[in-house]
């Protein structure tokens, strides 16, 4: 992906770079982006002895500090500023032999397009990590790979928890928390790495051969980056390529099963489905409020192994959380983890912030932060768990359509509070498919660096919701949109919501005391 076929000496050399101990010395590499993955890629390549030039469009106090650190460890050049990203730079006066890109850089970016036009291979940090994972004197971790439009972070966390409950040295890495190259370079090494992979990372990967893999689900997302939904699906499907033991798929979504059917896998690799209903043979599913396995046991035609109870997942168990737990269980069962460790891992797992996170119950109204619901598919999962709902939604749409989301959940909506600089797409869907649902639009106001001072936009949204909700309602902040129009990240948006709800709670408690 990302370039023409390699030719000549360059092709042979890059193909031979399949371990840490291979001959990386002097390899001319351009690294794009100085974020977490780009920084770790540049640092790794310097340690390997490559000649590295790093480019990033942003010149700020933070990027300058990172650049200084990389110069200390031996980077050849760090070029900061948008003007440096328009063309492909030279490395030591010569064209680069390789580009390693940060996942957010689109294939249509001028620098990457120039590399592709010149026939220079483009890797992502995950591809680089796979190639350097084997190192003399250190254990080589097996990889369990996870992708999907939604649920990746929860699932990778569950996998990590289950593996650790089994006594293994395991870590969640990749598109969550720890960059994959940092995990691979750990001085001790891991038994297993649970690798969360975005569609961007998969686009720039080609050599991965995980022990087991899963695509949790697919729905339109990042169409602007990929160019089409078809290309997005094609990149997601790469998670199954070269899988060794088991391709885990969502039996309730035909698209993921088709990906497995079309995947080129290691001979003997099995297809194993998961369902939130009763499982067929070679599947995981739910029977009488129990999570069960009919895939990784000898007598799977006539029996099932109990893995956990639904109650082990918590008091409120949305359907998508059950699906994520079954997918995680399928991955670790493929590795050979016993049922007891699956249950212990589920019980030990701490749900991450900003994903269906209960913030408070005020006057009988439940306030839920699901800022991580950055697309319609994720918002649908949380909307389906509550009824009736005062829905706080809106933001940067990323080119998706909201008609199906609104149509399916219109009957549970008491009202909608819209945030975002331009939520006209969502507003149009509400007008067409939920015309009787009241809609309150929060004015964007005068922004400073993309956000109202003091989080006033979220405070206004929370105040509007509080004015509508009654005891028994749920106020759900599940925007179905990205955050970058008004907030630096979905986490910042979630924090603003939490702060506003807590101020509301403190105000009501103070009022009660005064009376």
What pLDDT digit, counting tens, does each position of 166-180 carry? 999 999 999 877 899
How many other CB atoms are found less than 10 A from the CB of residue 340?
12
Whichever domain contains 215, its CATH number is: 3.40.1190.10
Residue 228 has pLDDT above 90, yes or no: no
Q: What is the pLDDT of residue 485?
A: 84
Binding site for ATP, by residue number, is 148-154
> Which residue segment(s) compose the domain that 284 sits in?
138-348
Residue 2 within any structural domain of the chain: no
Long-range Cβ pairs for the range 227-235 (8 Å, 24+): 227/107, 227/108, 232/199, 233/259, 235/199, 235/200, 235/202, 235/203
Residues 97 and 203 in one domain: no
Indicate whether 444 and 334 sit together in one domain.
no
Point out the annotated binding site: 148-154
**Domain identity same for 276 and 343:** yes
Q: How many domains does the chain have?
A: 3
Residue 285 shares a structural domain with residue 142: yes
Place of tokens 């005064």: 514
Assign residue 369 the CATH number of its domain.
3.90.190.20
Res 112 pLDDT > 50: yes
d(CA 16, CA 10): 10
Query: Given the structure tokens 């509301």, which residue do they identify?
Result: 504
Choosing from 66, 101, 128, the residue where a domain stops is: 128
Q: Which of 128, 156, 178 is the last residue of a domain?
A: 128
The CATH number given to whatever domain includes residue 121 is 3.40.50.720
Does 1 reside within a domain? Answer: no
Question: Mind listing the pLDDT tens digit for each residue in 466-482?
Answer: 999 999 999 999 999 98
In this structure, the answer to whether residues 367 and 495 fall within a common structural domain is yes
CA quadruple 47, 53, 54, 58: dihedral sign: positive
Same domain, 63 and 200: no
Domain boundary among 128, 158, 179: 128
133: in domain: no
Q: What is the pLDDT of residue 212?
A: 98
Q: Express each pLDDT in 402-421 by its tens digit.
A: 999 999 999 999 999 999 88
15 in the same domain as 62: yes
72 and 170 fall within a common domain: no
Residue 4 binned pLDDT confidence (cut-offs 50, 70, 90): very low
Mean pLDDT of 205-227: 86
In this predicted model, what pLDDT tens digit does every residue of 179-201 receive, in sequence order? 999 999 999 999 999 999 999 99
pLDDT at 133 exceeding the cut of 90: yes
pLDDT at 453: 42
Reply yes or no on whether the pLDDT at 449 is more than 80: no
Same structural domain, 109 and 43: yes
Do 47 and 20 sit in the same domain of this protein?
A: yes
What average pLDDT does range 358-374 have in this prediction? Answer: 90
Low-confidence winner among 67-76, 106-115, 252-261, 439-448 (lowest mean pLDDT)? 439-448
Give the orientation angle of helix 61-73 with respect to helix 36-48, to 10 degrees.
10
Q: Same domain for 458 and 377?
A: yes
Percent of the chain exceeding pLDDT 90 equals: 72
């Amino acid at each position: 992906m990302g370039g023409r076929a390699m030719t000549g000496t360059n092709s042979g050399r890059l193909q031979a770079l399949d371990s840490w101990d291979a001959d990386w010395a002097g390899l001319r590499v351009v690294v794009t982006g100085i974020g977490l993955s780009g920084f770790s890629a540049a640092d790794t390549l310097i340690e390997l002895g490559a000649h590295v030039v790093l480019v990033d469009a942003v010149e700020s106090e933070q990027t300058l500090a990172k650049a200084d650190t990389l110069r200390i460890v031996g980077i050849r050049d760090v070029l900061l500023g948008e003007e440096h990203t328009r063309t492909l730079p030279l490395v030591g006066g010569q064209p680069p032999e390789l580009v390693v890109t940060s996942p957010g850089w689109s294939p249509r970016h001028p620098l990457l397009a120039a590399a592709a036009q010149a026939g220079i291979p483009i890797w992502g940090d995950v591809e680089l990590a796979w190639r350097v994972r084997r190192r003399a004197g250190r254990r080589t971790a097996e990889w369990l790979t996870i992708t999907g439009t939604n649920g990746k972070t929860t699932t990778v966390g569950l996998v990590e928890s289950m593996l650790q409950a089994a006594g293994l040295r395991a870590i969640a890495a990749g598109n969550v928390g720890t960059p994959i190259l940092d995990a691979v370079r750990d001085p001790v090494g891991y038994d297993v790495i649970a690798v969360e992979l975005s569609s961007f990372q998969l686009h720039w990967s080609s050599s991965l051969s995980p022990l087991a893999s899963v695509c949790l689900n697919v729905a339109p997302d990042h169409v602007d980056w990929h160019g089409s939904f078809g290309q997005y699906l094609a990149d997601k499907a790469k998670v199954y390529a070269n899988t060794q033991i088991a391709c885990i798929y969502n039996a309730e979504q035909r698209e993921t099963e088709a990906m497995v059917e079309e995947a080129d896998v290691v001979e003997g690799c099995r297809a194993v489905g998961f369902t939130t209903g009763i499982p067929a043979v070679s599947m995981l599913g739910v029977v009488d409020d129990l999570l069960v396995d009919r895939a990784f046991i000898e007598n799977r035609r006539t029996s099932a192994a109990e893995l956990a109870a639904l109650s082990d997942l918590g008091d409120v168990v949305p359907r998508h959380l059950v699906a994520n737990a079954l997918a995680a269980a399928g991955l670790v069962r493929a590795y050979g983890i016993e049922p007891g460790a699956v249950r212990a891992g589920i019980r030990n797992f701490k749900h991450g912030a900003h994903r269906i996170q209960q913030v408070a119950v005020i006057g009988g109204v439940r306030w839920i932060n699901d800022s991580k619901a950055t697309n319609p598919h994720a918002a649908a999962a949380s909307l389906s768990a509550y009824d009736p709902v005062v829905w706080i939604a809106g933001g940067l749409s990323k080119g998706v359509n909201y008609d199906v989301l609104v149509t399916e959940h219109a009957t549970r909506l008491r009202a909608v509070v819209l945030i975002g600089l331009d939520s006209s797409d969502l507003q149009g869907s509400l007008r067409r498919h939920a015309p009787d649902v009241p809609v309150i639009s929060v004015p964007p106001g005068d922004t400073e660096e993309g956000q109202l001072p003091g989080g006033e936009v979220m405070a206004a949204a929370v105040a509007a919701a509080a004015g509508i909700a009654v005891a028994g309602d749920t106020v759900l902040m599940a925007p179905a949109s990205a955050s970058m129009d008004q907030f630096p990240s979905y986490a910042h948006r979630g924090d603003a919501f939490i702060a506003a709800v807590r101020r509301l709670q403190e105000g009501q408690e103070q009022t009660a005391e005064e009376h």
